[in-house]
Amino acid sequence: MLFSDVPIIIFAVYIPPLIVLYILELIAIVKYRKQAFSSSFFKIFAVLAVVNIASCLLGSFVFRLNLYPLVNGFYANLMAHSQWLTAAYVGAYYLNCVSEALGALLATNRFTALFFPLHHNQIWHWRTLGASVLLCCLVSLAPVWFTFDNTTAFVPHAERGIDYFVGSIWFNMALVTVCCTGLSTLLYIACAVRMCVSQGTRNRKAERNLFLTGFFSMLCSLPYMIAMLMFYINLTIGIDNGTFDPDLLSFFTFQLPWLTDLKYLTPGPMLLITNKSIRNKLMKMSSTSSNDTHSIHIESSNEFTNIGQLPPKQNRWLLLPPIIAMKNADLRMRNLLHNDRRSLSDSILRRYRQRPPMPFQMPLIN
């Protein structure tokens, strides 16, 4: 293993736990959507979680694995044009655009919650919410539509011994990233000012925690935006002006996987840190699963599935303890009911004997 392969080992260490955390949060949001996560924020977050997980997995194939000699031998078979490679190439960029658009939609959701709290639920009615998510998916097609019939292949880089792909989509990616992240930044700044000015806001703590989740996720998208912008400037404007720097291009290429992980996988830990409800539900899911496992183990150890295959004497001995227990329980219940009836009748009779004599009535003689 070469020193240049160390990053791929680091990726393998931290990416799976973060994806598992993302999936668990997604399961908790769907499972308890009517109890604790009925807000439109969590619905948008759930869609964003699915998109980010898919973007991370598909982007790892397109952007990450082909950079490291430990695993990029697989790409030697992809030097020819192929349709499924084009689909992966287009899908990675399309999901990135959808993620950017959903991030801006999440910021808009926080903006309406703080500036229009009385009309927030009406604004984010399920029809409006569904139409907004669908609009994000449709708008994200615009930057990548021309790549659907594009021929994509991996070519070797002679100097560094790596494989990389050639594309003409960097301007659109930089434009989408700058526009969506810039819009999210402005909305979150307005939300921060609103929260500082209005101290007596209803549900201030809950709104603050949801704001922090989106705000820190947006902050973690800023390095990716800067890298994409510099990548585009160096790749296009630098070539036209004669200031192209191949070392800078290579640097951004190798930093892109880290920055995409920072962008795609940060919302999961941020929600876990800032939201108490998601922590409680994850703990509840964990305790429920452990209790179910324990009960299944007990039931499997006490199961009498093979009673019919045992000799008759063993059958009787196995069935004897439950029968005795049932008889004892029935006997105790009968005695309890009998004692209750006796005590009730004695109490009534005692009260009747202690009553003062009524007019024209002889007192009872004990």
Q: How does pLDDT run across 23-56, given as a tens digit for each residue? A: 999 999 999 988 888 899 999 999 999 999 999 9
- Is residue 78 a part of any domain in this protein? yes
Query: Has residue 248 got a pLDDT over 60?
Result: yes
Quick one: 331 and 188 in the same domain?
no
- Is residue 292 a part of any domain in this protein? no
- Is residue 134 a part of any domain in this protein? yes
Domain of residue 319 covers: 309-353
HSE-up of residue 289 (Cα within 13 Å, Cβ side): 8
Per residue in 113-154, pLDDT tens? 999 988 998 999 989 999 999 999 999 999 988 888 766 655
Query: Has residue 3 got a pLDDT over 70?
Result: no
Quick one: 159 and 111 in the same domain?
yes
Distance CA 206, CA 276 (A): 9
Quick one: 209 and 343 in the same domain?
no
Quick one: 135 and 236 in the same domain?
yes
Q: Decide which of 269, 285, 301 is a domain's last residue.
A: 285
Q: Read off the amino acid at residue 227.
A: A
Output Rg (C-alpha) for the chain, integer angstroms: 34
Average pLDDT over residues 103-113: 94
pLDDT at 307: 43
Chain mean pLDDT for the chain:
77
- Show contacts of 212-217: CB within 8 Å, 24+ apart: 212/270, 212/274, 213/45, 213/267, 213/270, 213/271, 213/274, 213/275, 214/103, 214/106, 214/107, 214/110, 214/184, 214/188, 215/188, 215/191, 216/266, 216/270, 216/274, 217/103, 217/106, 217/266, 217/267, 217/270
pLDDT at 152: 63
Please state which of the ranges 30-34, 62-66, 89-93, 112-116 shows the lowest mean pLDDT: 62-66
Q: Decide which of 285, 318, 337 is a domain's last residue.
A: 285
pLDDT-above-70 percentage for the chain: 66
Average pLDDT over residues 300-312: 46
Quick one: 186 and 314 in the same domain?
no
pLDDT: which is higher, 8 or 5? 8
End-to-end alpha carbon distance in the chain: 104
pLDDT at 273: 92
Structure tokens at 21: 């955390």
- Is residue 365 a part of any domain in this protein? no
Query: Has residue 163 got a pLDDT over 60?
Result: no
Quick one: 194 and 227 in the same domain?
yes
Please state which of the ranges 88-92, 160-164, 171-175, 337-341 shows the lowest mean pLDDT: 160-164
Q: What are phi and psi of 163, to 5 degrees?
A: -110, 140
- Is residue 301 a part of any domain in this protein? no
- Is residue 145 a part of any domain in this protein? yes
CB atoms closer than 10 angstroms to residue 285 = 15
pLDDT at 27: 94
- Is residue 366 a part of any domain in this protein? no
CATH number at residue 37: 1.20.1070.10
Are 44 and 133 in contact, with CB atoms under 8 Å apart? Answer: yes
Query: Has residue 337 got a pLDDT over 70?
Result: no
Quick one: 241 and 341 in the same domain?
no
pLDDT at 50: 96
Sequence-separated (6 or more) residues with CB below 8 Å from residue 17 = none
pLDDT at 165: 46
Using DSSP's 3-state secondary structure scheme, residue 115 falls into helix
Q: Report the candidate in 293, 288, 315, 289 with the shortest Cα–Cα distance to residue 304.
A: 315
Quick one: 273 and 345 in the same domain?
no
Average pLDDT over residues 179-204: 85
pLDDT: which is higher, 36 or 244? 36
- Is residue 25 a part of any domain in this protein? yes
What domain count does the chain have? Answer: 2
Using DSSP's 3-state secondary structure scheme, residue 276 falls into helix
Quick one: 20 and 128 in the same domain?
yes
Please state which of the ranges 158-172, 202-216, 243-257 shows the lowest mean pLDDT: 158-172
Q: Highest-confidence range of 16-25, 216-225, 234-243, by mean pLDDT?
A: 16-25
Sequence-separated (6 or more) residues with CB below 8 Å from residue 71 = 8, 65
Q: What are phi and psi of 155, to 5 degrees?
A: -125, 145
**Alpha-carbon torsion angle 230, 235, 238, 240, nearest 10:** -140
Quick one: 225 and 322 in the same domain?
no
pLDDT at 44: 95
Are 133 and 47 in contact, with CB atoms under 8 Å apart? Answer: yes
Quick one: 332 and 259 in the same domain?
no
pLDDT-above-90 percentage for the chain: 32
Residue where the block lists tokens 């494989």: 163
How sure is the predictor about 76, in pLDDT bands with cuts at 50, 70 and 90? low
Q: Report the candidate in 171, 194, 174, 193 with the shortest Cα–Cα distance to residue 182.
A: 174
pLDDT at 313: 47
pLDDT: which is higher, 83 or 23? 23
Quick one: 110 and 171 in the same domain?
yes
pLDDT at 155: 58
